[in-house]
Amino acid sequence: MKIASGLNRRKKINTIMDLVFFSPQFILYFIFTLLPFFIALPIIFTSRVNFLDTNVAYVGLENFKSIFQEPIINEYLPAVKRTAVFTLINYATVFVFGMPLALLLFEYVSRLKQGFFSIIFMPYVVSGLGVGMIITMLLSRDSGTLNLLLLKLHIIDKPIDVMAESTAAWALPLFAGWKNAGFNMALFLSGLLSVPGDTIDASKVDGASYWQRFRYVYLPQMKPSIIIATIMCLLGSFGAFDIPVGFGGLRGNRSANFLAVLLYQMGFSGGETQTGTLAQAVTISLVTYLPLVIIAIFINRYQRKITY
């Protein structure tokens, strides 16, 4: 009986400790995510122009129709296209930058792990707004450091136009991948550290090449980390705001007019720069991001399935 009561008491203590550590995260998530969502949801069925609008009328499902009609559709579809291209290239950079760095740290940088990790992780703490401004400075047609260097080395014949749609299509996700390289490296490194050392040693004894070891030993253990990186990249890319703003998304640079920037212009910019209404912006958010959340939920369920 004493043993059973002791186990029950220990279980209660563990439950309380779990709640103590979980509560701050849940409170922040509730205040900044769930609560704004439920506050904004009724706005979809109104004609609210902005939060200061006092002349609000019930319009039913009219906003769902208006976002697929001119002039909103002329802004909405190009913004979705830019965001989708950014997401695809950014997802490629997750593996181009994050995976090799994680393998390098796991395999070869044993004595300098802390310093190497800090150096690679440092760009992640840089403001996305600052990253966007760095892009414009490096690729400025007249004084951009990268443009001048490439011209000096005769790699290009004329300066790269940073404001061009084609330039922004690769420059923005490339710099975003550089910024998030440390975070993705940490995700992949956690998967590599879960690989049993005996399994790695056995594969080496059996004569497996590095590629075979990576494919048949490392990757199966890294699937949960890859899925988490996929979810983070999917939701984060479609919600990208600070980097496009730093790139000039709110200053007339159409190539940086991503979906999140468009939603801000529709619902919060105010004055002559406001394109659409707050109600239409919330409607676009629901129409666009709800399928992404559903996809993320299914990906998360798949992760649990392969993990447990």
Neighbours of 32 (CB within 10 A): 10
> Nearest 5°: CA angle at 172, between 297 and 239?
30
pLDDT confidence of residue 93: 93
And the tokens for 184? 């993705």
Residue 248 Rama label (left phi>0; alpha psi -120 to 50; beta)? left
Q: Which CATH superfamily is domain 46-307 in?
A: MetI-like (1.10.3720.10)
Q: Hey, what are 133's tokens?
A: 């401004």
Q: Where are the beta strands (DSSP E) in the chain?
A: none
Residues 83 and 257: their CA atoms lie apart, in Å, by 9
Query: What is the C-alpha R_g of the chain?
Result: 24
| 225 closest CA partner among 257, 195, 267 | 195
Q: pTM to 2 decimals?
A: 0.82
Q: Does residue 267 come out as left (phi exceeding 0), alpha (psi in the -120 to 50 range) or beta?
A: alpha
Domain ranges of the chain: 1-39, 46-307
CB-CB neighbours of 44 under 10 Å: 22
What is the model's pLDDT at position 88? 93
Chunked mean pLDDT (size 10), the chain, 308 residues: 62 81 85 84 87 82 88 88 92 92 80 70 81 80 80 82 80 88 89 86 84 87 86 86 83 83 80 74 88 81 69
Tokens at residue 68, please?
């697929």
pLDDT of residue 196: 85
The pLDDT score that the predictor gives to residue 249 is 78
- Nearest 5°: phi and psi at 90? -65, -35
